[in-house]
């Protein structure tokens, strides 16, 4: 702007007509535009995806009040449509009750026992899972224990329980082949310990009888049957250790996948390891058949797991899936086709954001996530401090 305003002096010194009025007018327009952009950067841009109750208005009558799954109620947005706690009164909240499970999360011989469970609330029942696989039901109003059940475990390392699943059996029980009748679990293996680790098979179980109905072994993805006598699942494959999401509309379970052992070393990896590491895998919940795989990092020696439960949402119409990665990426995919969201959606929420981001991006050398540093202007994301971890996305 200063260059524009002072340009008439340059013209005058060159012996040309300064045209001061025109150039000063252009400088004034540029100044107003710049001030407007600066002002707009600090103004609320609205809710980009959807509008939610935030305490200022009553929660919708039909809004789900329970917390029945890991990330609330199916869409895994970590949002509860409650309107009694608002910014004006949150500072005056007092403890109503305290419950102790008597299952102290102490470390056994360095086993790193931790209380990482997220309770489930259905009506007045608050259910939690203590580190040593102790399931407890509590009255949500009084904090009194209703019942508890111990699930024996011999685990002495990495001792923790990260959550429970809720199955509604109040009505007639559906057939096993119908959506919502299968419990899907991943596999756990200690990472960065040894090249030869246990199998990372995913399994589906009958929600009522507990019988295994299918198994998905990343080493033999075409096989769904139980193991034959004397056989074993593939050793050291990519495992699913983070919470999963279930899309009832399409009977799909979306599974965040880590890297094959060892995560910080890429030797001795099979073709299947390279296909499934650091990905989101979509399976048919009732059969285990694969719907698709979206990989965030190919040939990953950085241990860039997908460490969080995907969030389900509607993105400008199409059903979408959003999740973060250890590489610092926030990914959005169409839940039906698996295709990424449109390019325009990835550049920013407002037209101003999109213009600025494109200018910055085009002015830097960028070769993707693993751009090598140099003496020029380059775009490196994430930086040396890493990316997103267990916290998961929310709304």
Quote the pLDDT of residue 137: 93
pLDDT value, residue 98:
92
List the chain residues with pLDDT less than 50: 47-50, 52-53, 345, 384-385
Structural domain tally of the chain? 3
Task: Tell me the three state secondary structure of residue 205.
Answer: strand
Q: Are residues 113 and 73 in the same domain?
A: yes
C-alpha to C-alpha distance for 335 and 314, rounded to whole angstroms = 9
Residue 346 has phi, psi (to 5 degrees) of -85, -10
Do 15 and 9 form a contact (C-beta atoms < 8 A)? no
Place of tokens 């979509």: 282
What confidence tens digit (pLDDT) does each residue in 285-343 have?
988 898 988 888 887 777 778 888 898 888 777 888 888 888 777 888 888 888 887 65
Distances (CA, A) of 192 to 81, 239, 259, 298, 301: 41, 13, 10, 18, 11
pLDDT single digits (tens) 93-112: 999 999 987 766 555 555 56
pLDDT at position 388 is: 67
Cis geometry, peptide bond prior to residue 382 (ω within 30 degrees of 0): yes
My answer on whether 283 and 197 are in the same domain is yes
Cα separation of 270 and 220, whole Å? 11
Is the residue at 171 inside a domain?
no
Residue 392 and residue 251 share a domain: yes
Structural domain including 218 reads 179-225+233-347+387-395
* 294 φ, ψ (degrees, to nearest 5): -120, 115
- Residue 9 placed within a domain: yes
In a domain, residue 189? The reply is yes
Are 183 and 158 in a shared domain? no
Q: Is residue 272 part of a domain?
A: yes
- 159 with 189, same domain? no
Within-domain flag for 79: yes
Q: How far is CA 43 from CA 55, 232, 350, in A?
A: 21, 59, 12
Assess if residue 118 is contained within a domain: yes
Q: Based on the domain organization, do 156 and 62 belong to the same domain? A: yes
Residue that is last in its domain, among 141, 166, 191: 166
Domain end marker among 118, 133, 166: 166
Res 235: pLDDT: 77
Alpha-carbon span 343 to 174, nearest angstrom: 42
11-35 as b/e, with b when 16 or more CB fall inside 10 Å? eeeeeeebeeeebbeebeeeeeeee
Q: Which two tokens stand for residue 332?
A: 């959005």
Burial of 216 (0-12, 13-18, 19+ CB in 10 A): buried
Residues 241 and 186 in one domain: yes
Q: Is residue 274 part of a domain?
A: yes
Tell me if 107 is assigned to some domain: yes
CATH number for position 338 = 2.40.128.630
Instruction: Based on the fold, state whether residues 9 and 102 are members of the same structural domain.
Output: no
Count of residues for the chain?
395
CA–chain centroid gap for 327, Å, is 12
Say if residue 147 is in the same domain as residue 238.
no
Asked if 206 and 129 sit in the same domain, the reply is no
Let me know whether 244 and 339 are in one domain. Answer: yes
pLDDT at position 43: 66
Looking at 166, 190, 212, the residue that finishes a domain is 166
Residues 259 and 159 in one domain: no
d(CA 259, CA 274): 9
């Amino acid at each position: 702007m200063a260059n524009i305003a002072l340009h008439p002096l340059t013209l005058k010194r060159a012996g040309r007509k300064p045209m001061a009025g025109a150039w000063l007018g252009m400088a004034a327009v540029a100044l107003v535009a710049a001030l407007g952009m600066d002002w707009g950067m600090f103004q609320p841009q609205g809710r980009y995806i959807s509008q939610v109750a935030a305490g200022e208005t009553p929660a919708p009558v039909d809004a789900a009040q329970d917390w029945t799954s890991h990330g609330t109620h199916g869409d895994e947005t970590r949002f509860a449509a409650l309107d009694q706690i608002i910014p004006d009164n949150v500072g005056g909240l007092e403890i109503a009750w305290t419950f102790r499970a008597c299952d102290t999360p102490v470390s056994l011989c360095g086993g790193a026992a931790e209380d990482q469970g997220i309770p489930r609330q259905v009506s007045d029942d608050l259910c939690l899972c203590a580190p040593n696989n102790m399931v407890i039901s509590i009255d949500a109003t009084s904090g009194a224990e209703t019942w508890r059940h111990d699930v024996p475990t011999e685990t002495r390392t990495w001792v923790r329980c990260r959550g429970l699943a809720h199955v509604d059996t109040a009505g007639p029980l559906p057939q096993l082949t119908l959506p919502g009748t299968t419990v899907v679990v991943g596999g756990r293996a200690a990472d960065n310990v040894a090249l030869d680790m246990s199998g990372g098979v995913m399994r589906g179980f009958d929600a009522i009888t507990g019988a295994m109905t299918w198994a998905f072994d990343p080493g033999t993805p075409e096989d769904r049957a139980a193991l034959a006598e004397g056989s074993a699942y593939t050793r050291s494959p990519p495992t699913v250790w983070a919470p999963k999401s279930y899309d009832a509309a399409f009977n799909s379970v979306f599974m965040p996948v880590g890297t094959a052992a060892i995560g910080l070393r890429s030797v001795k990896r099979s073709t299947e390891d390279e296909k499934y590491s650091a990905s989101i895998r979509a399976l048919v919940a009732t059969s285990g058949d694969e719907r698709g795989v979206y990989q965030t990092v190919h040939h990953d020696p950085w241990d860039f797991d997908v460490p969080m439960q995907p969030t389900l949402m509607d993105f400008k119409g199409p059903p979408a899936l959003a999740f973060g990665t250890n590489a610092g990426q926030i990914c959005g995919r169409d839940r039906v086709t698996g295709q990424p969201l449109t390019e325009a959606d990835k550049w920013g929420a407002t037209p101003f954001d999109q213009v600025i981001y494109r200018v910055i991006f085009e002015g830097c050398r960028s070769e993707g996530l693993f751009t090598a540093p140099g003496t020029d202007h380059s775009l490196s994301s994430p930086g040396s401090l890493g990316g997103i971890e267990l916290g998961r996305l929310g709304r």
